[in-house]
Amino acid sequence: MLKVGFSRVPVSTARTHRLLFNLRRINLATPVGNRSKLIRSVMGSHGTASSQSPKLLFRQLFEKESSTYTYLLADVSHPDKPAVLIDPVDKTVDRDLSVVKELGLKLTYAMNTHVHADHVTGSGLIKSKVPEVKSVISKASGAKADVLIEHGDKIYFGDLFLETRATPGHTSGCVTYVTGDGPDQPQPKMAFTGDALLIRGCGRTDFQSGNSEQLYKSVHSQIFSLPKDTYIYPAHDYKGFTVSTVGEEMLYNLRLTKDEDTFKGIMASKYCSYPVEIKMFKFLLYKV
Amino acid sequence: MLKVGFSRVPVSTARTHRLLFNLRRINLATPVGNRSKLIRSVMGSHGTASSQSPKLLFRQLFEKESSTYTYLLADVSHPDKPAVLIDPVDKTVDRDLSVVKELGLKLTYAMNTHVHADHVTGSGLIKSKVPEVKSVISKASGAKADVLIEHGDKIYFGDLFLETRATPGHTSGCVTYVTGDGPDQPQPKMAFTGDALLIRGCGRTDFQSGNSEQLYKSVHSQIFSLPKDTYIYPAHDYKGFTVSTVGEEMLYNLRLTKDEDTFKGIMASKYCSYPVEIKMFKFLLYKV
């Protein structure tokens, strides 16, 4: 029998409401269900609420219109609380900078996993408001930024760092940022996958240097090779998911769990029209 | 000088891309800014990515149309992985049950912080699909459910539990669920505040038994009395925030940081029309 139930006991606070408290406890018998070995293997190592580091402050932020996630990470053990924003969106720059200020952080990098028609970066706007911030994007993207990174590069903020993995395929310049190895680095790891790997899906590969074969190889070699309990934080989500894990996506991703030829077929048949933002893209590409 | 910078080193994976790796490291000098004592006091104790318990699995889920958050918590150390959903939404029940199934969890409770016109619960629909799930709501809400809870009641799932705090004011039946004290319970604590306390705001108090004076007292006595590093997980967010802390809201909440009379004035002047869903509410109230 499973130990579930509810009990009624007083809540100890300085100023409790004047309510009548009854002390009782009810145990509800619940049948024990079967669990497959497969599911157990996925679950085994991600039983925590989120990644943990005594130094890390982490916030996930959402831009509703484009369904884009922006991530704020900071080393709050450092006197200056240096922080990075991953994939800031132009429309929410003021919100993001306000949070940075309220939390007493010092924003050092505005990092991009990629630029794309549905992904209008706010790093240029951030730089216009906070000139000391450095914009970051991959060299392979062809975009301009203060720091042009390549596979293997590490971005430090305080004692914490993010490692760059080239994950082209959605665009030729896509990268995934992965939290580091070492003392005080977040455990489980966190991977900011941009559009290379979405929760149960992936970014389109039909325009702007997209290549489904390349994306398949990128995800399998660079993301699915991470520990299974690594948290997946994508650039977008359209169904209300906020996080997944490598283990989950290896089992349940609707596209990347297929063999390569099936995946390429799915990607070839999936999209037939460009997003509206493509028309604006040529003006945005060089404004990272 | 602040230690920030980036380095270029190979990423060690089984199947790396064939890229040229350059080994170098650049240190960027960054001026050390001033930080106020006030901000430091807020930041001091929430330097982690999220709450941590070796037993807890936690997922935050979003319903975009109503900007509602649903929360999934499970004790994954228990053989049955008993789970609860807080504030499930009718439109996303299939998504939520799919996640529960994929993660190998056993859903035991569908819990509601409240029912309201903008907050259409999915717990009735969940029960129709998974009959062994018990719906939970406060006795004071006047709604029907399998478990009618009161202030001080605890809801157990495995070895973890949520404690109920009556936080009326948005509606007379609003409650906040707070993770428990004790070994293996999440640290920092997590408070699921419903509409009593939103990030930088609060729920409206102008209809359906709303009372601004009551809400002010509820938040100050039942939520602001929690440890300052307690994570605030609200039922809704309209600006893309996913989480806050008690300490942050005590400093930056746009309404609850005011004195009580100012707060009541804000709430009296803020709203002049009912949401569309109010017309449907009488049909929904008793379908928890």
Residues of chain B contacting A165 with CB distance shorter than 8 Å: 11, 13
CB–CB of B248 and A134 under 8 A? Answer: no
CB–CB of A47 and B31 under 8 A? Answer: no
Residues 238-257 (A) with a CB less than 8 A from some CB of B: 239-243, 248, 251-252
* Run of H or E residues at A101: helix A93-102
Q: How confident is the model at residue A285 (pLDDT cuts 50, 70, 90)?
A: very low
CB–CB of A108 and B30 under 8 A? Answer: yes
Spell out the residues 6+ positions from residue A177 whose beta carbon is closer than 8 angstroms to its own: A86, A111, A113, A155, A162, A163, A164, A165, A191, A192
Q: Give the E-state strand segments of A168-256 in sequence order.
A: 175-179, 190-194, 231-234, 244-245
CB–CB of B156 and A42 under 8 A? Answer: no
> Above 80 in pLDDT, residue A60?
yes
* Run of H or E residues at A283: helix A278-284
**Pairing state of beta strands A68-75 and A82-86?**
antiparallel
CB A208 within 8 A of CB A141: no
Tell whether omega for the bond before B31 is within 30 degrees of 0, i.e. cis. no
**Closest residue on chain A to B70 (Cα):** A240
**Predicted confidence (pLDDT) per residue in A155-170, tens digit:** 999 999 999 999 999 9
Residues A214 and B239: their CA atoms lie apart, in Å, by: 35
Spell out the residues 6+ positions from residue A238 whose beta carbon is closer than 8 angstroms to its own: A67
Task: Read off the pLDDT of each residue in A124-144 and give the average, rounded to a whole number.
Answer: 96
Query: Which tokens is B162 given?
Result: 């949520």
CB B214 within 8 A of CB A8: no
Residues of chain A contacting B147 with CB distance shorter than 8 Å: 6
The ipTM (two decimal places) reads: 0.81
**Closest residue on chain A to B32 (Cα):** A80
> Cβ of B65: how many Cβ atoms within 10 Å?
8
CB–CB of A30 and B106 under 8 A? Answer: yes
Query: Which tokens is A129 given?
Result: 């408001």
Per-residue pLDDT of chain B (288 residues; tens, 9 = 90+): 223 355 554 444 333 332 222 222 222 222 333 333 333 333 333 334 567 788 999 999 999 999 999 999 999 999 999 999 999 999 999 999 999 999 999 999 999 999 876 667 899 999 999 999 999 999 999 999 999 999 999 999 999 999 999 999 999 999 999 999 998 999 999 999 999 999 999 999 998 789 999 999 999 999 999 999 999 999 999 999 999 999 999 999 999 999 999 999 999 997 644 444 443 443 344 333
| Count of all residues that appear for chain B in the document | 288
Question: What number of C-beta contacts closer than 8 Å exist between A and B?
Answer: 293
Spell out the residues 6+ positions from residue B238 whose beta carbon is closer than 8 angstroms to its own: B67
| A98 at B interface, C-beta within 8 A | no
Structural domains for chain A: 55-284 (3.60.15.10)
| A190 at B interface, C-beta within 8 A | yes
> Above 60 in pLDDT, residue A12?
no
Predicted pLDDT at B272 = 47
Query: Which tokens is A188 given?
Result: 């489980």
Residues A177 and A183: their CA atoms lie apart, in Å, by: 18
Residues of chain B contacting A160 with CB distance shorter than 8 Å: none
Full-model pTM: 0.82
Predicted pLDDT at A80 = 97
**Closest residue on chain A to B68 (Cα):** A240
What does the angle CA B84 – CA B141 – CA B226 come to, to the nearest 5 degrees?
Answer: 60
> Above 70 in pLDDT, residue A15?
no
Q: Which of B190, B192, B113, B198 is nearest to A48 (CA)?
A: B190
Q: How confident is the model at residue A54 (pLDDT cuts 50, 70, 90)?
A: confident
Predicted pLDDT at A273 = 47
Predicted pLDDT at B257 = 98
Predicted pLDDT at A277 = 46
**Lowest-confidence segment of A113-127, A214-228, B32-46, B226-240 by average pLDDT:** B32-46
CB–CB of A242 and B16 under 8 A? Answer: no
**Pairing state of beta strands B106-111 and B82-86?**
parallel
**Predicted confidence (pLDDT) per residue in A64-77, tens digit:** 999 999 999 999 99
Q: What is the DSSP letter of A81?
A: -
CB–CB of B242 and A59 under 8 A? Answer: yes
> Is pLDDT larger for residue A18 or for residue A236?
A236
